[in-house]
Amino acid sequence: AQSVAQPEDQVNVAEGNPLTVKCTYSVSGNPYLFWYVQYPNRGLQFLLKYITGDNLVKGSYGFEAEFNKSQTSFHLKKPSALVSDSALYFCAVRDGGRDDKIIFGKGTRLHILP
Amino acid sequence: GAGVSQSPSNKVTEKGKDVELRCDPISGHTALYWYRQSLGQGLEFLIYFQGNSAPDKSGLPSDRFSAERTGGSVSTLTIQRTQQEDSAVYLCASSLGSLAASETQYFGPGTRLLVL
C-alpha cells in the first residue's frame, strides 16, 4: 500500500524568501505525485503533478516541485514567497499503473510573514 | 463547466441520528472519492469508487459508515448512529479514472458536519 509523509506541520517563511514544503512517499510501483492547496474557507485546488518525464515540475501560482526517486521525495518549492501563499498544502500519491486510491499526507500549514 | 457539488453544505445533528451526505461528481468522471478532514488534521481517505468495480472501502472507520454510488454518478455517504467524533468536513472528489491518464482530482466544497 502506498503512503505519503509531510514531516512538517507548519512552515514559516518571510515574504520574498524561497520556500520549501517537504514530502516523501512510498509506493510499490511507479509513483504519481500531486500537490494540492487549501486556502482558508475554500476547497482543495490542484497545484501540480508528476507522472513521468522531467523531474522538475512547474505548476500554478509559480510553484514547482522536484521528483527525487532515490530519496523518494517530492518537495514543493517557490523561489519567492508571497503573503497570499499562506495556506494548507497537501502532498498526495497514487501507485501508477494500478487502479488504486490516492492517499494524502496530513498537510503542512505555510505561513508567509510580511 | 460544473464542478463537483456537495449537499448539504452544513449539517447539524444530534448524537445517535443518521445522516446522509450527497456528492455530484463532474459529468463523465468515473472515479469518485470520499475523504474526511477533521479540525487540525489532514485528509483521511474513506472510500473510493472506480467505474463498475467493487468500491475500496478500506478507509471507512467503522460499520456505521457506508456509501453507495448509483448509476456511476451521484454518491451518498451515510453515517448511522452519529457520534461526536464524527464531526468533521466531509470532502468528495472525482477524477476521470482512466489508468492511462493522470489522476487529477477535483474537489467539492465539502459538507461540514457537527454532531451535538
Which residues on adjacent β-strands are paired with residue B33? B48, B93
Is B83 a member of any domain? yes
pLDDT on residue A29:
84
Q: List chain A domain ranges.
A: 3-113
User: Would residue B90 count as lying in a domain?
Assistant: yes
Residues A45-67 have pLDDT tens digits of 999 999 888 999 999 999 999 99
Collect all residues from A whose CB is shorter than 8 A from any CB in B. 6, 32, 34, 36, 43-46, 49, 51, 90, 92, 94, 97-107
Instruction: Tell me how close the Cα of B43 comes to any Cα of chain A, in angstroms.
Output: 6
Interface test with B, best of A41, A95, A101 (most B CBs within 10 A): A101
Q: Which residues touch B63 (CB under 8 Å, ≥6 apart)?
A: none
Q: Which residues of B touch A (CB under 8 A)?
A: 33, 35, 41-43, 45, 48, 50, 53, 56, 58-59, 91, 93, 99, 102-110
Please give the pLDDT value at position B99: 53
Instruction: State residue A61 phi and psi, 5-degree precision.
Output: 55, 25
Which runs of consecutive H residues, i.e. helices, occur in chain A? Answer: none
Instruction: Report if residue B111 sits inside a domain.
Output: no
Q: What is the arithmetic mean of pLDDT over A12-31? A: 94
SS3 state at A108? strand
Confidence band (pLDDT; 50, 70, 90) for B1? low
Residue A52 confidence (pLDDT): 85
Distances (CA, A) of B110 to A96, B38, B114: 27, 12, 13
Contact A46 B104 (CB under 8 A): yes
Helix, strand, or coil here: B89? Answer: strand
Mean pLDDT of A79-106: 88
pLDDT of res. B72: 77
- Nearest beta carbon to residue B102 from set A36, A51, A101: A51
Residues B56-106 have pLDDT tens digits of 899 999 999 999 998 879 999 999 999 999 999 999 999 887 655 567 889
CATH code where residue B50 lies: 2.60.40.10
Query: What are the chain A neighbours of B33 within 8 Å (beta carbons)?
Result: 101-102
Cβ-based contacts of A94 with chain B (< 8 Å): 103
- What's the pLDDT score for residue A97? 65
* pLDDT confidence bin for A95, thresholds 50/70/90: confident
- Dmax over CA atoms of chain B, in Å, equals 45
The answer for residues whose C-beta is within 8 angstroms of residue B72's C-beta and 6 or more apart is B30, B51, B52
CA separation for the pair B83, B75 (Å, rounded) = 22
**Helical H segments across B1-116, by residue range:** none
Q: Which pLDDT belongs to residue A101? A: 80
Which residue shows C-alpha cell 449537499? B7
CA Rg, chain A, in Å?
Answer: 14
Residue A97 backbone dihedrals phi, psi, to 5 degrees: 90, -5
- How distant is the alpha carbon of residue A24 from its chain centre? 9
Task: Yes or no: say if A24 and A7 are a contact pair by the CB < 8 Å rule.
Answer: yes
Please report whether residue B35 resides in a domain: yes
Interface A–B counts its CB contacts (< 8 A) at 56
Number of structural domains in chain B: 1
Contact B43 A104 (CB under 8 A): yes
Containing structural domain, residue B25: 5-103
B110 assigned to some structural domain: no
pLDDT in tens, B3-41: 999 999 999 999 999 999 999 999 989 889 999 998 767
pLDDT (0 to 100) of residue B38: 87
Backbone angles phi, psi at A71, to 5 degrees: -100, 0
Is residue B71 in a domain? Answer: yes
pLDDT band at A36 (very low <50, low <70, confident <90, very high): very high
Q: What is the pLDDT of residue A86?
A: 96
With contact defined as beta carbons under 8 Å apart, do A21 and A105 qualify?
A: no
Residue at B52 is within a domain: yes
Q: The CATH number of A3-113 is which of 3.30.300.10, 1.10.540.10, 2.60.40.10, 3.20.20.70?
A: 2.60.40.10
CB contact under 8 A, A32 and B103: yes
HSE-up of residue A73 (Cα within 13 Å, Cβ side): 14
